Chain A
Amino acid sequence: MIARSYRTERVCAAILGLIALLVGAGAVVLNARREDRPLLDPTALAWARDHLLQVRIGALIVGLFLVVVGLRWAWRAATPERHPDLVLDHHLVVTSSALADAVKSDVEQVDGVTSAQVKVIGEPALRMKLTLRQGADVRAVWRELDGVLGRARDTLGVSVLPTAIRLDLAARARQRVR
């Protein structure tokens, strides 16, 4: 199983965590310093009343931003990853699994690669995991990868094919129990 990147989730969670930490710690500090002022500070309220329109519009924009970011975050985390088909022409569509299988069989021909998992994750973009047998010449495999991806680019007629490759080195060969 090749897992997708969790960068969006991580960045969103980190920002939310940081804001919560700062706000919470700030409240605790102000509380500990016995700051005897009302939570709804009269100075701040007076300022907001003087600039009512701007404050309202600003708050609406912030609210809208939160709704958009929150829904996108939840949607991304809750839905499975898309594997889009590649449309070459109006009546010629390469399905994502066909593309993945083609690249998989090509890359498995490379000397030293015992197995490969390939996924199409963009239009077109690839993510693959290659398992190399023990003692495989990693540099040679690494050089041949360029050839494999070049053939894939030529076949698809694209100039760039973003690819993320994970190498699993010196994996123990699976033995079947008889």
Chain B
Amino acid sequence: MRAFLRLISPVLGLAVAAAGVLLIADIAWHWAGNGHLVQVPRDLSWTDDRVRTVGLVTAVAGLLLLLVAMTARFRYVRLHDPSDQVVVTTTPTALARVVGHRVRAEEGVSSASVTVSRRKIRVRATSALHDEASLRPRLLDVVRETVESLPIAKAPKVSVVVSSPKDRRSAHPIDHRIPDQSTSGRSAPGRPKSSDDLATTGTEGR
């Protein structure tokens, strides 16, 4: 979206400038005693179909432009400023990488996927050795510790979900909430994002 915004910006800018020139020329022409340059038919009424068509096209174009402007933003996680006039940021991808490395280094974790937004870090780990009850607290501690070791301005919340065949065998109620297939499916980059996932990324587990 950033490239697209960069592409259409000169065109839009020139269009705005052209509208300004047209307005000035029209007023000047009218002031000089001539008619208007831009002629609007006097009998055109609000109920005319042309008004609806032009209105719809304008509204849709405006909405698209608004969406482009809102999605063309940098996704970043703000760190503390080391000194005045210095701004330090990192990307959600990088943060997810750090957390992912730490989680996968834990004993018993066979794979993990991490999703980071500005407000939340979600970790989904699979383990063949441990069940959720034993592994989850340990992973929560590890992730919290990792996040605290970084000078993040506003520490995001941490959530950890463990999926383990052990839980499935004992028919734990938590089991059907996190089926194995959806863990890898949800962390695919193209998955639909919820509105608060301003900055999202997924790192696939190994």
- CB–CB B58/A24 < 8 A: yes
- CB–CB A18/B20 < 8 A: no
- CB–CB A26/B55 < 8 A: yes
**Is B44 part of the binding interface, using a Cβ–Cβ cutoff of 8 Å?**
yes
- CB–CB A16/B52 < 8 A: no
- CB–CB B60/A24 < 8 A: yes
0/1 interface trace, chain A 9-38, chain B, CB 8 Å (1 if under): 111111011111111111110111011111
> Chain B, interface size: which category?
35 or more
- CB–CB B59/A13 < 8 A: no
Contacts of B150 in A (CB 8 A): 138-139, 169
CA distance A11 to B87 in the complex (A): 21
- CB–CB B13/A169 < 8 A: no
**Is B112 part of the binding interface, using a Cβ–Cβ cutoff of 8 Å?**
no
**Is B63 part of the binding interface, using a Cβ–Cβ cutoff of 8 Å?**
yes
- CB–CB B16/A70 < 8 A: yes
- CB–CB B86/A149 < 8 A: yes
- CB–CB B151/A12 < 8 A: no
Q: Which of B42, B46, B61, B73 contacts A30 (CB 8 A)?
A: B46
Q: Closest CB of chain A to B146's CB: distance in Å? A: 10
- CB–CB A70/B88 < 8 A: no
**Is A114 part of the binding interface, using a Cβ–Cβ cutoff of 8 Å?**
no
Q: Which of A28, A78, A149, A169 contacts B55 (CB 8 A)?
A: A28
- CB–CB A170/B97 < 8 A: yes
Q: Which of B14, B24, B58, B79 contacts A27 (CB 8 A)?
A: B58
User: Which B residues between 37 and 76 are near A, CB-CB below 8 angstroms?
Assistant: 40, 42-48, 51-52, 54-70, 72-74, 76
A-B interface, 3 closest residue pairs, ranked by CB to CB distance from nearest: A66-B20, A20-B62, A74-B13
